[in-house]
């Protein structure tokens, strides 16, 4: 059996609420990456936007951090990002995996705020690129419509198109290609039930394995 493309790599995973609650993606993605032989450090700060990771910024709804496949540590108050440059300097990862998109969807705004989103995404990709570290950007999946967050499939599609065009040099991973709308059931329109997070984690890992960091 050939070695996994991730064997021996160090991966840093950052993101928003999907990585900030232990039963969400932070509970499934690191497991799979570790199984593939990677050393993994995962941090999720709920509610953060991409530019919040350029310099330390507060998160208003908690955070979680996980080393490898150890139990995630949830912090309810005092949540704060760490600057990506500092994380990269400390972890020296072969690649950064950014899981972010729902926080910039502005789902309740009838217009997608492109200029703001451009500022947000370019700030983070430039900060990562400045370190010369490879990166992947995982966009939002379909979720479900009609929830309290106002997520719609049309906006998710628009958001994924925007991100796919604007996160280079990060490699974009389009989560809407991994399932049909409504296929992964959600708690609240945005956050998946456990089965969805398991499938999402595997699909993300497969996408990285098929195009590993150079």
Query: Nearest distance from residue 12's CB to other proteins, in Å?
Result: 21
Query: Nearest distance from residue 16's CB to other proteins, in Å?
Result: 8
Closer to other proteins by CB, 150 or 181: give it.
150
Distance CA 120, CA 97 (A): 16
Among 15, 44, 105, 141, binds other proteins (CB under 8 A): 105
| DSSP character string of 22-38 | TTSGGGTHHHHHHHTT-
Among 8, 37, 68, 113, binds other proteins (CB under 8 A): 113
Nearest alpha-carbon partner for 97 in 109, 88, 105, 106: 88
Nearest alpha-carbon partner for 61 in 5, 111, 21, 10: 21
Distance CA 45, CA 153 (A): 25
Query: Which 62-101 positions form the footprint of other proteins (CB under 8 A)?
Result: none
Peptide bond into 169 cis (omega under 30): yes
Closer to other proteins by CB, 56 or 113: give it.
113
Q: Copy the structure tokens of residue 124.
A: 């983070």
Among 21, 28, 48, 94, binds other proteins (CB under 8 A): 48
The answer to whether the CB of 24 falls within 8 A of the CB of 192 is yes
Q: Is 99 helix (H, G, I), strand (E, B) or coil?
A: strand
Distance CA 205, CA 184 (A): 17
Q: Point out which span in 22-30, 80-88, 108-116, 198-206 binds other proteins (CB under 8 A).
A: 108-116
Q: Does 49 bind other proteins (CB under 8 A)?
A: yes
Closer to other proteins by CB, 21 or 28: give it.
21
x/- mask, other proteins, residues 132-151, rule CB under 8 A, reads -----------------xx-
Q: Does 128 bind other proteins (CB under 8 A)?
A: no
Number of residues that bind other proteins (CB under 8 A): 37
Closer to other proteins by CB, 90 or 148: give it.
148
């Amino acid at each position: 059996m050939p070695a996994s493309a991730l064997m021996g790599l160090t991966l840093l995973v950052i993101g928003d609420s999907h990585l900030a609650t232990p039963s969400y993606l932070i509970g499934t993605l690191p497991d799979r990456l570790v199984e593939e032989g990677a050393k993994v450090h995962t941090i999720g700060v709920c509610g953060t936007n991409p530019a919040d990771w350029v310099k330390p910024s507060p998160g208003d709804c908690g955070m979680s951090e996980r080393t490898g496949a150890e139990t995630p540590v949830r912090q309810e108050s005092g949540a704060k990002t760490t600057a990506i440059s500092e994380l990269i300097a400390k972890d020296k990862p072969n690649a950064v995996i950014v899981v972010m998109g729902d926080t910039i969807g502005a789902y309740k705004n009838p217009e997608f705020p492109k200029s703001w989103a451009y500022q947000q995404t370019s700030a983070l990709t430039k900060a990562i690129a400045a370190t010369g570290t490879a990166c992947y950007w995982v966009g939002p999946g379909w979720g479900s419509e009609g929830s309290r967050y106002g997520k719609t499939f049309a906006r998710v599609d628009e958001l994924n198109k925007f991100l796919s065009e604007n996160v280079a040099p990060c490699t974009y991973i389009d989560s809407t290609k991994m399932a049909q709308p409504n296929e992964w059931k959600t708690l609240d329109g945005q956050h998946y039930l456990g089965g969805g997070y398991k499938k999402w984690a595997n699909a993300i890992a497969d996408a990285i394995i098929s195009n590993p960091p150079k």
